[in-house]
């Protein structure tokens, strides 16, 4: 077991390792156990009963968290003409076409998310090797290849996140910051879990939600009983 600092150990002592909490209890503990000098992020990890190696068991989607993620997301938009103007009016940080593509090819990556109009994808495809591994490549399935630029920019700026199950069958997603407090974090978690349930693939057999854990950036994980998902969705 790796050595842990005193603050981590003191924080971990507040958590019953044998217990699976409900979401309200877990989020109250998460906030109470945070000890870093910065505003820690709060993340959720969900182990699913799927095998991502099979196409019919892949879980991938997006959700707009009602309270955002607590950070300013820098958005780059590949568009021309009126769509370029539309993106700027909605608050996109960087907008352009061929010149923006060339800038990125030279190594510039000062943004977090990218959006493109369909007519730009022929050129944006050149950036696949750069943006793909970073999870920044525009994707129609995630709503980032669209002519509805204003909506796409607004959603991302408002707290839209995308997620994809990993090889081990685990989903990781940010839920906000400790400073949000338990209530706002619970609203975000509820929106995320609702989306995850709706994305249950037909190829999933047995228990879909195997386990859930919530943690802060540097804090210990807190186990949540998946049986409590129905309670937060009913609120």
- Residue that has been written with the tokens 């050149």 in this structure: 126
Is the pLDDT reported for residue 235 higher than 80?
no
CATH code assigned at 82:
3.40.50.790
Q: Select from 70, 190, 1, 142 the least CA-distant residue to 12.
A: 1
pLDDT value of residue 131: 96
To the nearest 10°, report the CA torsion of 14, 16, 21, 25. Answer: -20
pLDDT digits (tens, 9 = 90+) for 32-41: 988 889 999 9
Q: Domain check: are 85 and 145 in the same one?
A: yes
To the nearest 10°, report the CA torsion of 2, 52, 153, 42. Answer: -30
pLDDT digits (tens, 9 = 90+) for 104-140: 999 999 999 999 999 999 999 999 999 999 989 999 9
- DSSP for 102-150, please give it: HHHHTT----SEEEE-GGGHHHHGGGHHHHGGGT-S--GGGT-B-S-HH
Domain region containing 63: 16-69+160-234
Last residue of one domain, picked from the residues 158, 185, 203: 158
146: tokens are 């669209």
Last residue of one domain, picked from the residues 142, 158, 174: 158
pTM, two decimal places: 0.87
């Amino acid at each position: 077991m790796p050595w842990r600092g005193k603050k981590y150990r003191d924080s971990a002592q507040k958590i019953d390792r044998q217990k699976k909490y409900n979401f309200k209890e877990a989020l109250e503990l998460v906030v109470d156990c945070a000890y870093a000098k910065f505003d820690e992020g709060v993340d959720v990890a969900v182990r699913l009963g799927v095998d991502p190696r099979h196409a019919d068991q892949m879980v991938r989607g997006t959700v707009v968290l009602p309270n955002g993620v607590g950070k300013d997301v820098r958005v780059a938009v590949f568009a021309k003409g009126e769509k370029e103007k539309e993106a700027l009016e909605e608050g996109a940080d960087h907008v352009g076409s061929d010149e923006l593509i060339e800038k990125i090819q030279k190594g510039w990556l000062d943004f977090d998310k990218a959006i493109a109009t369909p007519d730009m994808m022929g050129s944006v495809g050149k950036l696949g090797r750069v943006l793909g591994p970073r999870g920044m490549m525009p994707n129609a399935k995630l709503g980032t290849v669209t002519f509805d630029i204003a909506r796409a920019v607004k959603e991302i700026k408002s707290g839209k996140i995308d997620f994809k199950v990993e090889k081990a069958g685990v989903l990781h997603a940010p839920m906000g910051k400790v400073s949000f407090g338990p209530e706002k974090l619970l609203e975000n978690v509820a929106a995320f879990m609702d989306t995850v349930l709706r994305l249950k693939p037909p190829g999933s057999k047995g228990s879909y939600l195997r386990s859930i854990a919530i943690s802060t950036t540097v804090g210990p994980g807190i186990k949540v009983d998946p049986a409590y998902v129905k309670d937060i969705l009913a609120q």
